[in-house]
A and B are shown apart, each in its own frame.
Chain A
Amino acid sequence: MTPAVQLLAVGAAAPAWRLDAAEVGAAWNRGSRGQAAVCAPDEDVLTLAAEAASRALAASGLQTDIVDGLWWGTTRPPFAEGPSHAVLARAIGLSHRSGGALCSGSPHAGIEALLGAADAIGAGTARVAVVVVSDALVPGNGTPFEARAGAGAAAVVLVSHGGNAMLTERVTRTQPFLDRYRGDGEADTRDLYDPRLFREEIFLPAVRELGEQLVALAGAGAGDKIRAWSLPDPDGRLGSTIAKELGVTTNASAAVYSALGDTGAAAALLGGIGALDTAGTVAIVGTGGGRTTGVMVSVKDPVRGASTIEGVLAGGRPATYAEVLRARGQLVPSGETVQMGVPPQSAQFVRGADEMLGLLGARCVDCGTINTPPSIHPHCISCGSAKFVLEPLARHGRVHTFVVNQTMPAPFVAPLPIAVVDLDDGARVMLQGIGDGSDISIGTEVELVLRRYAHERGVPVYGYKVRPMERP
C-alpha cells in the first residue's frame, strides 16, 4: 500500500520557442506534423525547472524556506557532474538545510523523483517536498523522433496533510530493454535501429500492461473510475494508439504533447497535472530506460495551480530549424567563440554563487541604499558606509532606460536587450532582457526570472533576466 501523500499545488513552465515539425521533416525528406517546444539559448532544464517550481510554490502559499527537500527528475542535468541540484535549490529559495535527490538516466526519472519525494513524506522524513521534472531533449539530427522532441517542466508541492488530492496507487514494470539512449560522453539522444521494434516489443506491451493494472486497481479499489490519463507519446502517434487500446476517454496529456512535443522526464507529470483541477481519479504513466510506472492521484477538490497549466502551454515564438540547431549546440560557428573573462570554475563564482542565484542586495544600514551585488561593494555607493544587511532583491520593477545590442561576437545572439531597472524595493539593477526588446520601453513593468547567461567549457552560468510582465 502506497503511503498517503497529499498534493498541495502544481506549476508548469514551457520554453520560449516552438519548432514546426514540418521544417525538420523538410530537411530530412520525411513527413512530420505538429510542433515541439524548444529552449531559447538562455533557457535549459534548470531554468524551466526553476520557473515551474517557483509557480507551484507561489500557488501553494508556503514560504520557500520551510521546504524540506527538492526531488528533481531530468534526463539531462545541466552539469553532467556537479551542483545541478544545489543550484536549483538555491534559485527557488530553498534553505541551506534542504535535502532531496536528483534523478536521471532516462525519461523515467520524472516518475522516480515523484515517488522519491512521496516516500520521504510517507516515511515522515519530509513534511514539505517539491517535486520538479524538466527536460529539454537534444535528439540526434535526422532521427525519426527529432521533430517532436520537446521541452517543458512541471512541479508539484507534496505535503503530509492539507492538500486537495492524494497519491493512492502505484504499479511498476521493469525489463532491461534498450530503447532511446545516449552513450557515455555523447551529446545527442539516439534510438533503436527500427521504430517498429520499439513499438511492438517495448512500448506497447509495457504501457498496455501498466494501464490494464491501473484500470483493475481503480475498479477493484474505491470503485472509482479513472477520469483522466497522462500517457507517454514518444513519437506523436503511440500516445493515441495506446489510449485507444486501453479505452481511454480523457487523454489529458494529448494537449500537452500537441503543444510542446515529447518533454522526456517531464512528460508524465506535465501531462497529468492540468487534470487535477477537477475531482476524480487521474492516472499518470511514465516510461523510459526499461521501466514503466503508473501512479494514481485521487482529487477531492481542485489542486492549487492546476487551472493555470493550460495557459502555460499556449504561445511561444516560432523558431526556425537553424535557430533551434544553433541553440542546441548542433550548429556551431567556425572559429573561436569569446570566452568569459571570469571562467565559471573560478573564485568569483564561489564568492558570488549565493548572491547571483539568490539575487541578493546589500542594504546600507546608514542611508538605506541597496548595493548590488554585495561582494563588489564593501562600501555604500551613496554614503560610503560599510554597514550592510543582506536581503533578497525585489523581483519586480520598471525599466528606467534600456538598449538593444545588435553587435556581439559568438556565442552571443543578437538582438540582446539590456535594461536598467528600478526594482520595487528601490534597488537599481542592469540585466539582460528576454526576447528581442520590441516589448520593452521606458516605464515597462518587468519581472526578474532565472535564465542561463552562458554555457562555457561545458558549464552553465545562471543569472536573472528582465521579462516584461504580460499585459492583461
Chain B
Amino acid sequence: MSWNRVAVVGAGIIKFGELFEQSYEQMAAGAFAAALDSVDEGFEPTQVEAAFVATQRGTLWGQEGIGGNTIPTAIGLAGIPCTRIENACPSGSDAFRVGAMAVASGVHDVVLVIGVEKMRDKSADEGLLARAAAGHPIFTRGETAPVLFAPFATRHMHEFGTTREMLASVAVKNHHNGSLDPYAHFQNEITIDDVLNSPAVCAPLHLLDCCPQTDGAAAVLLVSAEAAERYTKKPVYVAGFGVATDHPYLHEKTSFTGLKATQLAAERAYAMAGIEPDLIDCAEVHDCFTITEILDIEDLGFVDKGKGGVASLEGDTSLTGRIPINTSGGLLAKGHPIGATGVAQIVECWWQLRGDADERQVETPNGYALQHNVGGRGSGVSVINILTNNAS
C-alpha cells in the first residue's frame, strides 16, 4: 500500500454533557476553537482546506436536512469543501479515517475532522428510545439500543461464566477514569453495588451498565507528515486503520459472544500498522454498554475470548493495569454524542501519546494507541484507527 503518512497536529474537545444552553453550531465552533488552541506552534483557521463532519442523527436535534454544509458556516469557513460522514456509531472514527485518506492521497494537505452530536434536544422517548418502533415492523420491533448488546451479555454469561459483577467492574473503572477527565459528562465515582442495584434497563443490563445520552463535539487537525513540524514538535501519526461490516440483524449472527465486525476491522488495522495487539499501550474502545467493552477487549486481541470479564474485574484494564482501556472515562462516563464519540476518542489517544493526559496519563513504551467504535443495527459496522508517536 502506498500512501503519504498523516499526522495529527491539533485535537480539541468541549466539555460533554447535557448542553441545553448550546446549539449544534455552537458546539461545533467550540470544538474547532479547542483544536486550534491545541496546536503548539499556532494554526490559522483559513489553513483548513477541507472538512469532514460526523453527525449520526440530525433527527435528534430537529434539523433533519443537516448536511456537510452546516459546519463551514458554523465555524466561520463558509465555502470550504465539507462532507458529512454517517456510519452509525463509528461515524466519528470513520470521518477521521476518510479525512486521513484525503491527506494520505495527496489531495489535501490540511484537513479538519469534526464530530458533533445533539442528543438531548429531544426527550429520551423521542430520541434514541424511539428506535423501538423503527426498522422492520416485526423483526426489530422493541429493539432499543440495549437490545443490540444485552443478548451478547446473556450468552457470554452462559458460555464463560461472566457475572454481573464483572460487567459492573467496567462501569466502575470507567467512572473512575471519568472522575479524572474534566471533559467527561459524569465525573463521579461509582461502586459495584451502585451498578448492581441500579434499575434494570434491558435485563441483564442495568442503568449503570449503559452509557448516557450526551451532547458533545470534538475536532482534530490532520496534515501530511512532512508538514507536521511546522505545527508541533510532538506530532502523532496515523499508523493504520480498519473497517468492517457484518450482517445488520441480530438473528443473522452466528455467534453471540463476539462482534464479527470488530474482529475483522482489527485484523485489517493491525495488518496496516504492521503490529500485533500486544504493542498497543492503551485503547479507547466502544463501551456503549459494559458488555460491549468486554467483547471489545477480546475481539481486539487484548485478552483471550471469554476472559474479558475476569480481566476487567481483576484490574487488567485500569489506568495502572496491563492494558489501560478507556482512560477518558469511555462512553459510559465521558458520554456518547454519537458523531463526536470517535473523534473524542482520537483526542484522548492524542493526549496519551503526547504525554498530555494529566492524572490519567498511562505509560506508552511502545508508542501505540488504538481507537475503536462498533455500532449500527446489529453492530454491523466497526471502525478502528491506530495512532502512534513513533516518527517512522
Q: A residues bordering B, Cβ < 8 Å?
A: 336, 338-342, 344, 348-349, 352, 356, 372-373, 376, 381, 400-410, 412, 415-416, 418, 420, 428-432, 437, 442, 453-454, 461, 463-464
List chain B residues, Cβ under 8 A from A431.
Answer: 138-139
Q: How far is the CB of B123 from chain A (nearest CB, A)?
A: 9
Can you list 15 A-B pairs, Cβ within 8 angstroms, ordered by A? Answer: A338-B132, A340-B134, A348-B136, A373-B139, A381-B252, A400-B256, A403-B202, A404-B200, A405-B144, A407-B202, A412-B132, A418-B142, A418-B151, A420-B256, A431-B138
Complex contact A408–B256 (CB within 8 A): no
Q: How far is the CB of B256 from chain A (nearest CB, A)?
A: 5
CA distance A373 to B125 in the complex (A): 28
List chain A residues, Cβ under 8 A from B78.
Answer: none
Q: How far is the CB of A268 from chain B (nearest CB, A)?
A: 34
With A406-B200, A420-B256: A401-B154 Cβ-Cβ less than 8 Å: yes
Q: How far is the CB of A18 from chain B (nearest CB, A)?
A: 25
Q: Which of B92-144 contact A (CB under 8 A)?
A: 124-126, 129-130, 132-139, 141-144
Complex contact B144–A338 (CB within 8 A): no
CA distance A186 to B226 in the complex (A): 76
Q: How far is the CB of B156 from chain A (nearest CB, A)?
A: 9
Q: How far is the CB of B322 from chain A (nearest CB, A)?
A: 30
List chain A residues, Cβ under 8 A from B249.
Answer: 430
Q: How far is the CB of A202 from chain B (nearest CB, A)?
A: 44
List chain B residues, Cβ under 8 A from A376.
Answer: 136
Complex contact A339–B133 (CB within 8 A): yes
List chain A residues, Cβ under 8 A from B143.
Answer: 418
User: Residue of A at shortest CB range from B199?
Assistant: A406
Q: How far is the CB of B55 from chain A (nearest CB, A)?
A: 19
- Chain B contact residues (Cβ within 8 angstroms of A): what range? 35 or more
Complex contact B146–A401 (CB within 8 A): no
From the candidates A348, A429, A454, name the one contacting B251 in the complex (CB within 8 A).
Answer: A429
List chain B residues, Cβ under 8 A from A340.
Answer: 133-134, 137, 141
Q: How far is the CB of A384 from chain B (nearest CB, A)?
A: 12
Complex contact B138–A356 (CB within 8 A): yes
With A402-B154, A405-B146: A453-B137 Cβ-Cβ less than 8 Å: yes
Complex contact A403–B155 (CB within 8 A): no
Q: Does B250 belong to the interface (CB within 8 Å)?
A: yes
Q: Which of B170-227 contact A (CB under 8 A)?
A: 199-205
Complex contact A407–B146 (CB within 8 A): yes
CA distance A348 to B130 in the complex (A): 19
The 5 closest A-B pairs by CB, nearest first: A463-B138, A409-B125, A341-B134, A403-B150, A430-B251
CA distance A364 to B155 in the complex (A): 27
Complex contact A404–B203 (CB within 8 A): yes
Complex contact B138–A405 (CB within 8 A): no
Complex contact B139–A418 (CB within 8 A): no
List chain A residues, Cβ under 8 A from B154.
Answer: 401-403, 442
Q: How far is the CB of A260 from chain B (nearest CB, A)?
A: 29
Max count, chain B CB within 10 A of own CB: residue among A356, A401, A409, A442: A401
Q: Does B302 belong to the interface (CB within 8 Å)?
A: no
Q: How far is the CB of B102 from chain A (nearest CB, A)?
A: 32
Q: Does B233 belong to the interface (CB within 8 Å)?
A: no
Q: How far is the CB of B195 from chain A (nearest CB, A)?
A: 16
Complex contact B137–A342 (CB within 8 A): yes
Complex contact A408–B132 (CB within 8 A): yes
User: Residue of A at shortest CB range from B129?
Assistant: A409
Complex contact B141–A407 (CB within 8 A): no
List chain B residues, Cβ under 8 A from A454.
Answer: 133, 137, 141
CA distance A208 to B191 in the complex (A): 73
Max count, chain B CB within 10 A of own CB: residue among A401, A403, A410, A453: A403
Q: How far is the CB of A30 from chain B (nearest CB, A)?
A: 37
With A403-B204, A420-B151, A442-B154: A338-B133 Cβ-Cβ less than 8 Å: yes
Complex contact A406–B142 (CB within 8 A): no
Q: How far is the CB of A280 from chain B (nearest CB, A)?
A: 46
Q: How far is the CB of B45 from chain A (nearest CB, A)?
A: 40
Q: Does B152 belong to the interface (CB within 8 Å)?
A: yes
Q: Does B305 belong to the interface (CB within 8 Å)?
A: no
CA distance A463 to B273 in the complex (A): 48
Q: Does B158 belong to the interface (CB within 8 Å)?
A: yes
List chain B residues, Cβ under 8 A from A463.
Answer: 137-139, 141
CA distance A406 to B144 in the complex (A): 10
